[in-house]
Structure 1
Amino acid sequence: MKRILTGVLAAALALSLCACGGTPAASSTSSAAPAASSASSGGGLAGKQISVMTPYLSSVTTHQMADALQASLEGEGASVTVIDTANDFAALASRIEDVTAAQTDAIVLVSADPSQVENQLREAFDAGIPVFGCDSGYIDGMQINATSDNRQMGELITNYLFDDLMGGKGTVVALTHRPHPGVVKRCEAFDELLAAQPDIQLITEQHVPAEQPINDAQDIVQNLLTANPEKGSITAIWCGWDEPAIGAAQACQEAGRDEIMIVGVDGNEQAVSLIQADTPLKATVAQNFQGMVDIVTEQMGRYFAGETIQPGELYAAATLVTKENAG
Structure 2
Amino acid sequence: MIAAAAMSALAFAGCSSGGSTETPTTASSATAETSTPAGGGEAGGLIAVITPSHSNVFFKAEADAAVAEAEALGYTAQADSHDDDPNKQSELIDAAISNGAVAIVLDNAGADVTVGAVQKAKDAGIPVFLIDREINETGIAVSQIVANNAQGAGLVGESFVAAMEGEGTYIELLGRETDTNAAVRSDAYHAVIDEYPDMEMVAQETANWDQQEAFNKVQTLLEANPDVKGIIAGNDTMALGAVAAVDAAGLTGEVIVAGFDGSPDAAQAIKDGKLLATGLQPAVLISQMAVQQADEYIRTGSTGQPEKQSIDCILIDASNVDKYTVFALEG
TM-score normalised by structure 1 residue count: 0.82
Q: Among 227, 231, 238, which residue is 2:232 paired with? A: 238
Provide the C-alpha distance between the structure 1 equivalents of 2:114 and 2:186, rounded to a whole number of angstroms: 22
Give the equivalent residue in structure 1 for 2:163. Answer: 165
List runs of 5+ in structure 2 lacking aligned partners.
Answer: 1-10, 14-22, 33-39, 323-331
Give the equivalent residue in structure 1 for 2:7. Answer: none
Provide the C-alpha distance between the structure 2 equivalents of 1:321 and 1:277, rounded to a whole number of angstroms: 14
- AA aligned to 1:195 is D
Provide the C-alpha distance between the structure 2 equivalents of 1:99 and 1:65, rounded to a whole number of angstroms: 18
Provide the C-alpha distance between the structure 1 equivalents of 2:293 and 2:145, rounded to a whole number of angstroms: 10
Cα deviation for residue 31 of structure 1 reads 3.0
Does the CA-based 8 Å contact 1:26-1:291 persist in structure 2?
no
Give the equivalent residue in structure 2 for 1:193. Answer: 192
| SS of residue matched to 2:240 | helix
Does the CA-based 8 Å contact 1:295-1:314 persist in structure 2?
no
Provide the C-alpha distance between the structure 1 equivalents of 2:128 and 2:205, rounded to a whole number of angstroms: 33
List runs of 5+ in structure 1 lacking aligned partners.
Answer: 1-21, 35-42
Does the CA-based 8 Å contact 1:234-1:260 persist in structure 2?
yes
2:97 aligned with 1:100: yes
Give the equivalent residue in structure 2 for 1:218. Answer: 215
- AA aligned to 1:125 is K
Does the CA-based 8 Å contact 1:66-1:110 persist in structure 2?
no
Provide the C-alpha distance between the structure 2 equivalents of 1:93 and 1:203, rounded to a whole number of angstroms: 40
Cα deviation for residue 295 of structure 1 reads 1.2
| SS of residue matched to 2:316 | strand
| SS of residue matched to 2:113 | helix
Provide the C-alpha distance between the structure 2 equivalents of 1:44 and 1:71, rounded to a whole number of angstroms: 21
Does the CA-based 8 Å contact 1:23-1:286 persist in structure 2?
no
Bigger Cα displacement from structure 2, 314-323 vs 198-207: 314-323
Cα deviation for residue 23 of structure 1 reads 5.0
Change beyond 3 A, Cα 1:123–1:308: same
Does the CA-based 8 Å contact 1:172-1:235 persist in structure 2?
yes
- AA aligned to 1:161 is F
Bigger Cα displacement from structure 2, 252-261 vs 83-92: 83-92
Change beyond 3 A, Cα 1:95–1:290: closer
Does the CA-based 8 Å contact 2:236-2:262 persist in structure 1?
yes
| SS of residue matched to 2:26 | coil
Cα deviation for residue 111 of structure 1 reads 5.3
2:247 aligned with 1:253: yes
| SS of residue matched to 1:116 | coil
2:314 aligned with 1:316: no
CA RMSD of superposed structures (Å): 2.3
Give the equivalent residue in structure 1 for 2:202. Answer: 203
Give the equivalent residue in structure 1 for 2:3. Answer: none
Does the CA-based 8 Å contact 1:154-1:190 persist in structure 2?
yes
| SS of residue matched to 2:48 | strand
Does the CA-based 8 Å contact 2:84-2:110 persist in structure 1?
no
Cα deviation for residue 271 of structure 1 reads 0.5
Give the equivalent residue in structure 1 for 2:180. Answer: 181
| SS of residue matched to 2:28 | coil
- AA aligned to 1:271 is A
- AA aligned to 1:323 is A
- AA aligned to 1:144 is S
Does the CA-based 8 Å contact 1:55-1:92 persist in structure 2?
no
Change beyond 3 A, Cα 1:111–1:303: same
Does the CA-based 8 Å contact 2:261-2:281 persist in structure 1?
yes
Cα deviation for residue 296 of structure 1 reads 0.9
Give the equivalent residue in structure 2 for 1:30. Answer: 28
Cα deviation for residue 297 of structure 1 reads 2.0
Does the CA-based 8 Å contact 1:62-1:111 persist in structure 2?
no
- Equivalence map 1:47-86=2 (5 Å): 47-86=44-83
Change beyond 3 A, Cα 1:324–1:216: same
| SS of residue matched to 1:115 | coil
- AA aligned to 1:249 is V
Cα deviation for residue 33 of structure 1 reads 7.0
| SS of residue matched to 2:277 | strand
2:297 aligned with 1:299: no
Q: How many pairs are equivalent?
A: 291
Cα deviation for residue 114 of structure 1 reads 4.2
Provide the C-alpha distance between the structure 2 equivalents of 1:146 and 1:237, rounded to a whole number of angstroms: 29
Please list the CA deviations of residues 268-311 of structure 1 after superposition, one character each: whole Å capped at 9, or x if unmatched: 111011111112x1111112122112211221111011142344
TM-score normalised by structure 2 residue count: 0.81
Change beyond 3 A, Cα 1:59–1:315: same
